[in-house]
Amino acid sequence: MTTEEKYIALAERTPLCLHEECPMKTTCMRWLIRGYMPTGRRFVQVVNPCINVTQSHGCEEFQSLTPASQARGFRHIFDNVPMLKAREISRQLQSDFTRVGYYRLKRGDRPLTTAERRRIEEMCRAAGVTEPIEFDTWEEGIE
């Protein structure tokens, strides 16, 4: 997937920013990807432009456009985990992500967000897993 294709996909699923006076707009993904919105799209999500943003207070909706490593899939994290612990972790993650969401993330249908990856690692650690948590693949992406 090319960088432009990634930006188009981001523009389709991420709320965009239209705040003209925002001091953070030159580094904010929500502002920068708005030019990649497909012209055939009739409706889009936007961040409320009435939010008061200042340099000193920042913006709660700010997202960096800096690429980061993202994990994708976790089909083998239970390979060396006792069955009872694996079931316990799996049930808790299904509760957190929904059953369908859990299996989509496990298969690697989309990259895991940092929060999702941390939640998986926390659940494994809480259940007593001491081995390193191995995800299927890692890729460069924008969260």
The residue with greater pLDDT, 56 or 138, is 138
SS3 state at 95: helix
- How far is C-alpha 79 from the chain's CA centre? 25
Does this model's pTM top 0.85? My answer is no
Task: Determine the straight-line distance between the first and last CA of the chain, rounded to whole angstroms.
Answer: 15
Q: What are phi and psi of 124, to 5 degrees?
A: -65, -45
Task: Summarize pLDDT for 36-87 with one digit per residue, the tens.
Answer: 988 888 888 888 877 776 655 678 888 887 878 899 999 999 998 899 999 9
